[in-house]
Amino acid sequence: KNEVEQSPQNLTAQEGEFITINCSYSVGISALHWLQQHPGGGIVSLFMLSSGKKKHGRLIATINIQEKHSSLHITASHPRDSAVYICAAREGNTPLVFGKGTRLSVIA
């Protein structure tokens, strides 16, 4: 059974800081997602990774398949980045297994 662990659980940062959220999973996967959930809002998929690194604007996601680890980085953080960030992994065609999320608050 795949288990997905995220850290930290909660994170408060000052505007402009560089932020890293970590995700570890326990079994081999075919894809890993980073998702963003705003308060009262739905879920938006930020990245889907199976290897290497992806960048979109101020967001960067990396994955190390050998170490079963992924990181989400936010550069030059802004209060509008405040949200819950969720890591989710899947094996083959199986449903996603989710981490418990990291609640990020960016203070101006």
Partner 1 sequence: GAGVSQSPSNKVTEKGKDVELRCDPISGHTALYWYRQSLGQGLEFLIYFQGNSAPDKSGLPSDRFSAERTGGSVSTLTIQRTQQEDSAVYLCASSLLGQNTEAFFGQGTRLTVV
Residue 48 interacts with partner 1 (CB under 8 A): yes or no: yes
- Considering the rule CB under 8 A, would residue 61 count as an interface residue with partner 1? no
User: Closer CB to partner 1, residue 78 or residue 100?
Assistant: 100
Nearest-approach distance from CB 10 to partner 1, in angstroms: 12
Interface with partner 1 (CB under 8 A), residue total: 23
Asked whether 40 and 58 are in contact (CB, 8 A), the reply is: no
- Of 87-106, which residues contact partner 1 (CB under 8 A)? 88, 92-101
Structure tokens that stand for 67 in this block: 């170490």
Residue recorded with tokens 């998929």: 45
Return d(Cα 29, Cα 14) in angstroms, integer. 34
Sign of the dihedral defined by the CA atoms of residues 61, 25, 94, 98, in that order = negative
Q: Tell whether residue 21 is a contact of partner 1 (CB under 8 A).
A: no
